Amino acid sequence: MNVKLNDNVLVITGKYAGKQGKVIATSPKNGTVTVEGINIHKKAQKARKANEVSKIVEKEGAFDVSNVMVVCPSCDKAIRVKYDFENGKKHRVCPKCNAVLDSAYAGKGKKAAAKKDEAPKKRVRKRAKKDEAETAATPETEVKE
């Protein structure tokens, strides 16, 4: 499934065709997507306690993932997602402008490789530094007259 959580999508078929929204939930097993403000259903909610009031609740319904297309954040067009492999990792790319769609991946390739090459930093006890700083700062160690 090429649609992920928090993606901006365009509905291409059905009653809500042409509307855009943010993906709230995905279900890869069922192949469905829930989009904010689209496919709204009304449901009667019964009062469960004595002080509550029964009401009608509006809730977004899920629909098939084939009815939506991902919108590229940089070129703002509905696209078919292209997959690219770099440094042994798979990430989503816009085929029109070659922008990376996975915000978690964007710009991490070079930084992560640089960090792996560095040696780990040596740990220093903070308490030892405080003790040295306190002894140097006290005027009692100076010559008394």
Whether the predicted pLDDT of 115 surpasses 90: no
In this predicted structure, what is the pLDDT of residue 86? Answer: 82
pLDDT band, very low/low/confident/very high, at 140 (cuts 50, 70, 90): low
- Angle (CA) 47 53 57, round 5°: 80
Q: How far apart are CA 46 and CA 23, in angstroms?
A: 28
Q: Which amino acid is at 62?
A: A
Phi, psi of 74 (to 5 degrees): -90, -45
In this predicted structure, what is the pLDDT of residue 90? Answer: 87
In this predicted structure, what is the pLDDT of residue 42? Answer: 95
Contacting residues for 47 by C-beta, under 8 A, at least 6 apart: 53, 54
pLDDT tens digits, one per residue of 87-104:
888 889 999 888 888 876
Which of 41, 1, 40 lies closest to 19 in space, CA to CA?
Answer: 40
Beta bridge partners of 86: 89
Which has the higher per-residue pLDDT, 129 or 39? 39
Contacting residues for 68 by C-beta, under 8 A, at least 6 apart: 3, 9, 10, 11, 12, 33, 35
In this predicted structure, what is the pLDDT of residue 62? Answer: 94
In this predicted structure, what is the pLDDT of residue 89? Answer: 85
pLDDT band, very low/low/confident/very high, at 143 (cuts 50, 70, 90): low
The share of the chain scoring above pLDDT 70, in percent, equals: 73
What structural domains does the chain harbor? 1-44+53-71 (2.30.30.30), 81-136 (no CATH)
* pTM for this prediction: 0.64
In this predicted structure, what is the pLDDT of residue 134? Answer: 61
Strands 40-45 and 55-60: antiparallel
List the structure tokens of 54: 């029964």
Whether the predicted pLDDT of 131 surpasses 70: no
Beta bridge partners of 85: 90
Q: What is the mean pLDDT of residues 43-61?
A: 94
The secondary structure element, H or E, covering residue 134 is helix 126-137
Q: Can you tell me which residue has the tokens 């978690």?
A: 104
